[in-house]
Amino acid sequence: MKFSWKQGTGLSENQLLPAKKKLEGYRKRLEQIAEHTDYAQPESSIQLSFDRTLQVAVETEVLHAHPKTVQDVVLIGIGGSSLGTSAVYDALSPTRALKRLHVLDTLSPINLRTVADRLRAHKSERAYTVCVVSKSGGTTETIANAMTLEVEIKKQHPKCLDRFVVITDEGSALWNRARERNMRVLAVPAMVGGRFSVMSAVGLFPLALLGVDIRQLLSGARKAVRDNTQNSAQNSARASAAIVHHQWKHGRAIHDTFVFNPELESLGKWVRQLTAESLGKRENLSGKEVRVGITPTVSVGSSDLHSMAQLSIGGPADKFTTFVHSAWAQDARVPQRSTFDRLVADAQAQSYNGIMSAIRKGTHAAYRSAGHPYVEVELEGLSEKELGAYMQFRMIETMYLAQLMRVNAFDQPAVEAYKSVTRRLLKRAKK
């Protein structure tokens, strides 16, 4: 993973020094936390990729799930329980022979029926695995979907519960229930929040079962933890946090993740959830009402290029952009001759990577001359290792950024607001 910021921001090393200095204590803390696997701190998600016990537990569970017969993996989970898995899967699946992933991440009778039909069509329940992922164990949509799916497929497959794997906090009501019924369970460490949990069983189990090389994913994540907790030039998470914070202080409170590979759109959505929920806070660390936050957006190049270029370049100076791209390993080439040649003469005989690179550079130049700042992330291939490194980089960047903004990256107090009304309405509807 290559992180470049100088050309796009016009900032110098010196301008990042005050933020670096402010973050030095916290960086040291992260460096220390990374040395353990005790999951005793809110930042303990950075320990996950070093946890060999976890890796073995996941791999054992995958073997138990009979990966050779599994064709479909259903993931029932919402937000942090599913976005990380989707991000990695969607980035890799177009070029890999992975098993099929179905995500039930909201209530949708249509999606539920499609998945139930597909599972019922299998002769044996060994053709699928259903992962029920809920950190708290009590997420309404997740449990409702698990209940409905179980009953829908039980008629055909009386033993379908053997194909359910539950991933939740140890000791949650869901955990206890699953144990009572002899279901397979995997724990999420209590201190690891949903949006930081992709390197725990939450992401690792479904991904490994689907055929993703989780050892490579973890290896990329480990390298990113080392790089981004050190006091060195490799610490791009700290640099990025300093830059985003600088831009935010200067009125750029919208952060666009502009991916130039369509298969990375889900990765952008994972980033969106991570940063929206971690940084949007009413109170700061001292308990003072501050109402701060950064609004994350996701754009896909070049599909969204006209509208985002028009808005970013023409519109108000309220945005900051992180461009993310990777060259395609299997490139294509525009032919020299075709019915449509000469309509865009410059594209004839050029490679797709080459044209895309010209489009990206054209975009960067236009952003620069409009004074619209950006940084660039280049993934050296769409591989497990690079994705692991990028995701870990983003999680640590978010922690640094929360420190600079002086908010708690790990709580989500406002979520309770809508949940309590929903519960009351559901209770009333039952009567």
Smallest distance from its own copies to CB 209, Å: 21
Pairing type for strands 295-300 and 164-169 reads: unpaired
Smallest distance from its own copies to CB 238, Å: 23
Nearer to its own copies, 49 or 81 (CB): 81
Pairing type for strands 2-4 and 374-379 reads: antiparallel
Smallest distance from its own copies to CB 305, Å: 7
Nearer to its own copies, 233 or 429 (CB): 429
Smallest distance from its own copies to CB 150, Å: 5
Nearer to its own copies, 41 or 140 (CB): 140
Nearer to its own copies, 55 or 82 (CB): 82
In sign, the C-alpha dihedral spanning 34, 40, 43, 49 is positive
> Peptide bond before 12: cis, by omega within 30 degrees of 0?
no
Nearer to its own copies, 87 or 218 (CB): 87
Look-up of token digits 């640099």: 239
Smallest distance from its own copies to CB 59, Å: 26
Smallest distance from its own copies to CB 281, Å: 5
Smallest distance from its own copies to CB 397, Å: 17
Nearer to its own copies, 20 or 269 (CB): 269
Dihedral in degrees, nearest 10, Cα atoms 286, 291, 292, 293 = 120
Nearer to its own copies, 226 or 311 (CB): 311
The answer to whether the CB of 392 falls within 8 A of the CB of 49 is yes
